[in-house]
């Protein structure tokens, strides 16, 4: 049986404009009555906490693509040094016309618009031997510490909550979700997910965005996984 579900937000509960799919709220609440729902997102801590409150999910959640873990009200753990992202940003800015997005509430990473060759820039970071990498979520490009990701953070949560791999499901859409898919026992993706995520999924919904998430919850219930 699945005891916990690691759940992405943007592109999984929302559409391409980050608008929340109304039926997804009901599906999250239904899921929360059967398993612990752990939000795992690239969003900042304050946004994720607000989402957890509004959706009624666990106050244990992961923000900033694994850079921040919330263990409860006022109990935070930072897994990344923000200076790593800052140095990478300054170096890349010398080469690319980076357009920085609002990062005032970010604790570990920063975000820029995807108006440059992300793959090429990521290769430059490796060549410069910086401990940073780039993650394109489809909504923004995150400059983050290479040593942290959603999988590492989820692994720490699983250890503390004493969750076995087979007791954890992961649901997402983006390449940033791939690390948490690697350590979850059941993986499901929505139809708009990147191909790399779909290839790691036991179930791929035929529906996109929040509608796809609702379908995944129905599938898990039908298969008596929750």
Q: What residues are annotated to the active site?
A: 8
Q: Which residue from 80, 16, 13 is spatially nearest to 47, judged by alpha carbons?
A: 13
Q: How far apart are CA 67 and CA 45, in angstroms?
A: 10
- Which residues make beta-bridge pairs with 145? 132
Helices (H), 103-177: 118-127, 150-160
User: What are the phi and psi torsion angles at 66 (to 5°)?
Assistant: 100, 0
CA dihedral in degrees (56, 57, 63, 69; nearest 10)? 120
Reading the block at residue 16, the tokens are 């391409």
Distances from the Cα of 56 to the Cα of 29, 32, 50, 52, 53, angstroms: 7, 8, 10, 6, 5
Distances from the Cα of 172 to the Cα of 8, 132, 138, 176, angstroms: 5, 23, 12, 9
> Measured between alpha carbons, how far apart are the two ends of the chain, in Å?
6
């Amino acid at each position: 049986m699945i005891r916990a579900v690691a759940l992405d937000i943007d592109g999984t509960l929302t559409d391409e404009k980050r608008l929340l799919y109304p039926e997804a709220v009901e599906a999250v609440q239904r899921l929360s009555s059967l398993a612990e729902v752990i939000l795992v997102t690239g969003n900042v801590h304050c946004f994720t906490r607000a989402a957890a409150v509004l959706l009624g999910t666990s106050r244990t959640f992961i923000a900033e693509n694994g850079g921040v873990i919330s263990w409860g009200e006022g109990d935070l753990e930072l897994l990344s040094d923000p200076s790593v992202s800052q140095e990478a940003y300054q170096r890349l800015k010398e080469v690319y016309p980076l357009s920085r997005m609002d990062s005032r509430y970010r604790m570990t990473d920063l975000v820029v618009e995807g108006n440059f060759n992300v793959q090429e820039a990521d290769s430059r970071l490796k060549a410069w031997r910086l401990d940073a990498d780039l993650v394109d979520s489809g909504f923004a490009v995150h400059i983050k510490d290479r040593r942290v990701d959603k999988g590492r953070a989820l692994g720490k949560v699983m250890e503390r909550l004493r969750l076995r791999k087979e007791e954890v499901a992961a649901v997402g859409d983006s390449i940033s979700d791939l690390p948490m898919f690697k350590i979850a026992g059941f993986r499901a993706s929505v139809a708009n997910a990147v191909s790399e995520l779909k290839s790691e999924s036991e179930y791929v919904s035929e529906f996109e965005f929040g509608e796809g998430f609702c379908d995944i919850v129905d599938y898990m219930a039908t298969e008596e996984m929750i």
